[in-house]
Structure 1
Amino acid sequence: MNRAQLLNLIKINRRRFPGYILLFILIGFFGEVHGDEPFRPEAGTFPPIEEAKAYRGELVFVDHVNRRGSLRLHVNGHFQEGRLHHFAMLPYGEIHYHGAPADLRDIPIGTVLYGLFYLPPDPETSAVPNVKGNDKTAPPETHAILLEDGPSLCLRKGKAWKLKEVDINDSESHLTARLDRADGGEGLDGEHQFTIDASTRIWRGRELLGLEDLITEGFWPASGKKLFDGQDIQLALTWHPRYLYQQFHVSDLWLDETAMNVAMERQRQRHIRHIHTRWMPARVDTIQYGEFGQATITASLFGGMDDNLYADFKPGIGGKMAAAENTLRTWWPDHDGMDGKILSVETAEKDPPLGSSGIQIQFEVPLILEGFRPGRIVRIRPQGWPNVKPPVEERVRSFEERWPSPDLFLK
Structure 2
Amino acid sequence: MKRQILPIYILLLISFGFIRNAQGDEPFRPESGKFPPIEEAKAYRGELVFVDHVNRRGSLRLHVDGHFQEGHLHHFAMLPYGEIYYHGAPADLRDIPIGTVLYGLFYLPPDPDTSAVPNVKGNDKTAPPETHAILLEDGPSLCLRKEKAWKLKEVNINGSEGILVASLDREDGGEGLGGEHQLTIDGSTRIWRGRELLGLNDLIAEGLWPASGKKEFDGQDIQLALTWHPRYLYQQFHVSDLWLDETAMNIAIERQRQRHIRHIHTRWMPARVDTIQYGEFGQATITATLFGGMDDSLYAEFKSGIGGKMAAAENTLRTWWPDHDGMDGRIISVEKMEDKPQLGSSGIQIQFDVPLILEGFRPGRIVRIRTQGWPNVKPPVEERVRSFEDRWPSADIFK
Q: TM-score, normalised by structure 2?
A: 0.92
Once the two structures are superposed, the pairs formed by residues 199-238 of structure 1 within 5 Å of their partners are 199-238=188-227
Matched letter for residue 306 of structure 1:
D
Say if 2:353 is the partner of 1:364: yes
Q: Partners of 1:86 and 1:63 in 2: how far apart?
A: 11
1:340 maps to which residue? 329
Say if 2:149 is the partner of 1:175: no
CA-to-partner distance for each residue in 1:182-230, whole Å, 9 max, x for gaps? 3641101111110000000000001100000100111100000000000
Q: Is the 8 A contact 2:276 2:285 kept in 1?
A: yes
Q: Partners of 1:166 and 1:318 in 2: how far apart?
A: 56
Say if 2:56 is the partner of 1:86: no
Please provide the CA RMSD for this pair. 1.7
Q: Partners of 2:157 and 2:175 in 1: how far apart?
A: 30
1:188 maps to which residue? 177
Task: Quote the offset at 1:348 in angstroms.
Answer: 2.7
Matched letter for residue 105 of structure 1:
R
Q: Is the 8 A contact 2:311 2:367 kept in 1?
A: yes
Higher helix share: 1
Say if 2:109 is the partner of 1:123: no
Q: Partners of 2:158 and 2:195 in 1: how far apart?
A: 27
2:385 maps to which residue? 396
Q: Partners of 2:237 and 2:136 in 1: how far apart?
A: 19
Say if 2:59 is the partner of 1:59: no
Q: Is the 8 A contact 1:346 1:359 kept in 2?
A: yes
Matched letter for residue 61 of structure 1:
F
Structure 1 unaligned regions, length at least 5: 1-30
The counterpart of 1:258, out of the listed 247, 250, 255, is 247
Task: Quote the offset at 1:245 in angstroms.
Answer: 1.2
Q: Is the 8 A contact 2:90 2:256 kept in 1?
A: yes
Q: Partners of 1:46 and 1:404 in 2: how far apart?
A: 28
CA-to-partner distance for each residue in 1:32-70, whole Å, 9 max, x for gaps? 767421000000000001101101101010000000000
Say if 2:135 is the partner of 1:146: yes
1:270 maps to which residue? 259
1:15 maps to which residue? none
Aligned length: 379
Matched letter for residue 51 of structure 1:
E
Once the two structures are superposed, the pairs formed by residues 36-47 of structure 1 within 5 Å of their partners are 36-47=25-36
Q: Is the 8 A contact 1:325 1:402 kept in 2?
A: no
Say if 2:258 is the partner of 1:306: no
Q: Partners of 2:123 and 2:334 in 1: how far apart?
A: 46
Q: Quickly say closer, same or farther: Cα 1:391–1:353, change in 2 above 3 A.
A: same
2:237 maps to which residue? 248
Structure 2 unaligned regions, length at least 5: 1-19
Task: Quote the offset at 1:181 in angstroms.
Answer: 2.0
Task: Name the SS for the 1:59 alignment partner.
Answer: strand
The counterpart of 2:281, out of the listed 288, 292, 309, is 292
Q: Quickly say closer, same or farther: Cα 1:132–1:34, change in 2 above 3 A.
A: farther
Q: Is the 8 A contact 1:128 1:405 kept in 2?
A: no
Task: Name the SS for the 1:228 alignment partner.
Answer: strand
Q: Quickly say closer, same or farther: Cα 1:80–1:141, change in 2 above 3 A.
A: closer
Task: Name the SS for the 2:282 alignment partner.
Answer: coil
Report the more deviating stretch, 397-406 or 294-303. 397-406
Q: Partners of 2:336 and 2:90 in 1: how far apart?
A: 20
Q: Partners of 2:322 and 2:255 in 1: how far apart?
A: 27
CA-to-partner distance for each residue in 1:366-411, whole Å, 9 max, x for gaps? 000000000000000010111111111111123534797532211x
Task: Name the SS for the 2:64 alignment partner.
Answer: coil
Task: Quote the offset at 1:350 in angstroms.
Answer: 2.4
Say if 2:278 is the partner of 1:281: no
Q: Quickly say closer, same or farther: Cα 1:402–1:351, change in 2 above 3 A.
A: farther
Q: TM-score, normalised by structure 1?
A: 0.89
Matched letter for residue 123 of structure 1:
P
Task: Quote the offset at 1:264 in angstroms.
Answer: 0.3
Q: Quickly say closer, same or farther: Cα 1:32–1:87, change in 2 above 3 A.
A: closer
Task: Quote the offset at 1:170 in angstroms.
Answer: 2.8
Identical-pair percentage: 87
Q: Is the 8 A contact 1:48 1:353 kept in 2?
A: yes
The counterpart of 1:68, out of the listed 57, 70, 81, is 57
Q: Is the 8 A contact 2:153 2:220 kept in 1?
A: yes
Task: Quote the offset at 1:114 in angstroms.
Answer: 0.3
Task: Quote the offset at 1:88 in angstroms.
Answer: 0.3
Q: Is the 8 A contact 2:61 2:69 kept in 1?
A: no
Q: Partners of 1:371 and 1:119 in 2: how far apart?
A: 25
Say if 2:316 is the partner of 1:327: yes
Q: Partners of 2:117 and 2:393 in 1: how far apart?
A: 8
Matched letter for residue 285 of structure 1:
D
Matched letter for residue 68 of structure 1:
R
Q: Partners of 2:159 and 2:308 in 1: how far apart?
A: 60
